[in-house]
Amino acid sequence: MRNSIKKGFGFGLTSGIITTLGLIIGLNSSTHSKSIILGGIIIIAIADSLSDSLGMHISEEADSKNNKQQIWEATISTFLFKFIFAIAFIIPLLLLTLHTAIITSIILGLFLISIFSYYIAKSNKQSPTKAIAEHILITLIVIFLTHFLGKLINAIFGI
């Protein structure tokens, strides 16, 4: 895989999963509404994918070593992979009860982050255990923070 596409894949996967899980957990904790969560996922899949791909584009332009093709490969792959990984969380919500879909989404997200962390660590000749633990810890922090933030929002605004 070309380095520019690998960058987009890695960024899209991690950002798509962590951002979408945070959104799902926060919205569930504050609203307990499947339709609001579904709408949030669709909106974030589009808006955040476009935003992150522009950020990747500008970041890659700042690196004078990159040519136009590499810049656009990173930009487009960031958008596509971020969109795909974010929108994938709709599937459990459409097929399962809300509670089961939330648990399934968390497991799916942690599994995908673990697999990619393993791949990156192995390709960089680093300890997969350390990389996986670090990335899972960060993901769990996001899950817990957004859960309690959702509860706080519900308590303050009564959503």
Q: Please give the chain's pLDDT, 159 residues, in tens.
A: 788 899 899 999 999 999 999 999 999 999 999 999 999 999 999 999 999 999 999 998 998 787 899 999 999 999 999 999 999 999 999 999 999 999 999 999 999 999 999 999 999 999 999 999 999 999 999 999 999 999 999 999 986
Q: What is the DSSP letter of 64?
A: T
Q: What is the pLDDT of residue 111?
A: 98
What's this model's pTM, rounded to 2 decimal places?
A: 0.92
Q: Of 79, 143, 76, 150, which Cα lies nearest the Cα of 113?
A: 143
Cβ partners under 8 Å of residue 105, min gap 6:
21, 24, 89, 92, 93
Give CA–CA dist 61/83, Å, rounded. Answer: 22
Tens digit of each residue's pLDDT (9 = 90 or more) over 108-140: 999 999 999 999 999 999 999 999 999 999 999
Helix crossing, 128-157 with 3-31: angle to 10°?
Answer: 30
Give CA–CA dist 78/96, Å, rounded. Answer: 29
